[in-house]
Amino acid sequence: MLEQFKVPEDIAVHVQEDALRETVTSVFKKMGVNDADSELATDVLVKADMRGVETHGVSNMLRSYVSGYGSGELNNDPNWRITRETPATANIDSDRGLGIIVTPKAMEIAIEKAKNVGVGMVTIHNSRHLGMASYHAMMALEHDQIGLCVTSCPPGVLPTFGAEPRLGTNPIAVAAPADKEPPFVFDAATSTVAGNKLGLARRLGNKLYPGWVADADGIPLMEEVDPPTPGYEGRASSFLLPVGGNRESGSHKGYGLACIVDILGGILSGGGFGMVPGRPNFGHMVAAYNIEAFMDTAEFKRTMDDFLRMLRETTPAPGHARVLFPGLPESEEEEARAEHGIPFHPEVIEWFQDITSELDIPYNLT
């Protein structure tokens, strides 16, 4: 995570994982979600906070879920069902159920299929936000499988050469097990920066880096931007750029990857792509690959160790202490937060005080 997105240590309020889980589970229960699903939803959210993925953790997402349940936009008791199935595939109608609850169930189906025929791939339509995509991909790890998750989001990103947002931030997550090293866990939007990071930068008054946004005409801003400037305020809040920024620096790659996510997570689920007028929000795809279906699992994990260690031990460029691999900083953060708690902004604590009072739940965080 870029330094500018961290909650400053001098104002952070540290919350212990167990207390947070208790409170979040109570909130979901009050929304009418059953006990098991409330615990599952809590696990997805708190795992994000533990791994330092604030954007998809409790502080950033829970209030929008509460509001979705309150308005009836989210179904608190979805009758999700499989609409089509083969030995390696399934398609699920999520019945407006929250993605953080239905997607783990889809991933369980994919994992079972991968055990049976080598690969499992499950699409989900008529769903909602699925939280941290890598949560679902990581479910494969304990089964000695590689996990994958993509989600087709509402539009906010410009296609290369375009002046209208056409694609979601459409993240891709892949998790693969190692032996002694922490698992490889990649989880990233196909835009240069995730939408809520832009919101965060605006709130904190931070600068924007080259290739993050376009101006109001759709021209990529390839220099640093100190907000507020034209192209940052107002309309351009939706004008995220695909990773690469502009064509010369490779934005057609981020653009194409975003399309792939819309195809696999949206169109192939039967729920349509992000820009479909009136599409109810999100489509997802999860997949699991059984390592033993391709090769000896122990050898795979040993080779992963070699690979990840080699990346970690790469000579760093000037100004950098070390080279990371995807999943390494998150794994370290998880250890640190297990010991010291999760650092929240005081505003988040205030929100918890308000919502627990409103829902008549005991407040136990601080």
- Minimum distance between the CB of residue 58 and its own copies, rounded to whole angstroms? 24
The sheet with strand 89-93 has its strands ordered as: 81-85, 89-93, 119-127, 282-290, 145-152, 172-176, 184-188
Nearer to its own copies, 118 or 154 (CB): 118
Nearer to its own copies, 3 or 360 (CB): 3
Instruction: For residues 327 and 312, give the distance between their C-alpha atoms in angstroms, rounded to a whole number.
Output: 11
* Nearest-5° Cα angle at 27, 338 to 59: 50
Nearer to its own copies, 42 or 151 (CB): 151
For residue 184, give the 3-state DSSP assignment: strand
Q: What is the distance in angstroms between the CA of the first residue and the CA of the last residue of the chain? A: 26
Q: In the block, which residue shows the tokens 């339509």? A: 125
DSSP states of 86-113 as a string? Answer: -SSEEEEE-TT--HHHHHHHHHHHHHHH
- Minimum distance between the CB of residue 38 and its own copies, rounded to whole angstroms? 30
- Minimum distance between the CB of residue 192 and its own copies, rounded to whole angstroms? 4
- Minimum distance between the CB of residue 213 and its own copies, rounded to whole angstroms? 12
How many Cβ atoms sit within 10 Å of the Cβ of residue 45?
28
- Minimum distance between the CB of residue 225 and its own copies, rounded to whole angstroms? 12
Instruction: For residues 158 and 165, give the distance between their C-alpha atoms in angstroms, rounded to a whole number.
Output: 4
Nearer to its own copies, 199 or 316 (CB): 316
Nearer to its own copies, 323 or 355 (CB): 323
Nearer to its own copies, 36 or 317 (CB): 317
Instruction: For residues 113 and 94, give the distance between their C-alpha atoms in angstroms, rounded to a whole number.
Output: 19
- Minimum distance between the CB of residue 167 and its own copies, rounded to whole angstroms? 8
Nearer to its own copies, 76 or 190 (CB): 190
Query: Distance from CA of residue 316 to its chain's centroid?
Result: 28
Beta bridge partners of 290: 145
Between β-strands 89-93 and 119-127, what pairing exists: parallel, antiparallel or unpaired? parallel
- Minimum distance between the CB of residue 161 and its own copies, rounded to whole angstroms? 4
- Minimum distance between the CB of residue 200 and its own copies, rounded to whole angstroms? 15
- Minimum distance between the CB of residue 204 and its own copies, rounded to whole angstroms? 16
Nearest C-alpha neighbor of 130 from the set 158, 147, 152: 152
Nearest C-alpha neighbor of 146 from the set 304, 40, 274: 304
Residue 295 corresponds to which tokens in the numbers above? 């090769």
Nearer to its own copies, 30 or 166 (CB): 166
For residue 347, give the 3-state DSSP assignment: helix
Nearer to its own copies, 23 or 191 (CB): 191
Helices (H), ranges, 182-290: 195-204, 251-261
